[in-house]
Structure 1
Amino acid sequence: MRRKLIVATTAGVLGLSGLAVAVPALAAPDGTGSAVERITDALSGLVDDGSITQEQADEVATTLSEAGVGRGGHGGGGGPGLDAAAAALGMTEDELRTALEPEGTTLAEVAEDEGVPVDDLVAALVGAQEERIAQAVEDGRLTQADADERLADLEERVTERLNSDAPVRGGGGHGPRGD
């Protein structure tokens, strides 16, 4: 809940004061810098003028990056949710996107169609997210307490997303967004 409030507040602040600077910085068409770096850079003016703290900027950058905001290119890079799902299903990311194109198609349905047990797909997605969270802690982008909070009900959230037709993280299609 706290994270959603911070993201919403920052989005409002960006919309009012930093959108002209933030949008080009997030787009980074040349692919330079990570999404977190680009988002953090875009928020630096707000930190400098005291609108938000550096801690808030870092948390917003991490949250937006995990949601797929700020990824360059057409349709984004897919992220762990999409590439881990594709690997578990024995498909490429493009094949998975195509399989998810029909409106209302879920990753659980694609897994069934591919003869992959849904539990195997859940395990792959949970494992990918656990690795991302551990890396964020190691990189100092996330505290261990925040990591523990995100890990608490991860399997339940992933399972719920597998049966949802919410947009796939990183681009077109449907399914889990990885968080």
Structure 2
Amino acid sequence: MAVIEKVPSVIFKTRVRDESIDGPNPFRWQDRTTEELFAGKRVVVFSLPGAFTPTCSSTHLPRYEELYDEIKAQGVDAVMCISVNDAFVMFQWGKAQGAEKVFLLPDGNGEFTRKMGMLVDKSNLGFGLRSWRYSMVVNDCTIEKIFIEPGYEDNCPADPFEVSDADTMLAYLKG
């Protein structure tokens, strides 16, 4: 993987609650830019293969949710989870997980993931193109530190989960 220094500039298609909308679907589309999300902020980002998948749902997201306050106490403005899933799937997954602190950021077209160099073919699992599992600290749009799961270079058919976890991130932040 070619090491990049800055997060790629993309537009994320998100859905947000709009209290001015009455009815059963009080949400509207909102475009969020990389610059809006990362400029002038220190953000922890972790990316995973998919919402509702076993490791992502049982360990990856829940542990970041659990350690959220400790991570924020290390000078972090936000904690974000990116997945190559659409906004509707990410919303329902967040609801099902009870995720209230970690911001779930949909990368429905995989544009951010592709530009990060992390888009991999998981057709062997029936997933199609997905994100390789990684985490990073982004400081004012610049990648300060990145943890990439082993096996990326050869698109390992397994799903390693050794270095992108919340505990590894917290240990890095505590220095």
TM band (smaller chain)? under 0.3
Over alpha carbons, which structure has the higher Rg? 1
What is the TM-score of this pair, normalised by structure 2?
0.26
What is the TM-score of this pair, normalised by structure 1?
0.26
| Higher-RCO chain (CA-CA 8 Å, sequence separation at least 6) | 2
Report the structure, 1 or 2, having the larger strand content.
2
Report the structure, 1 or 2, having the larger helix content.
1
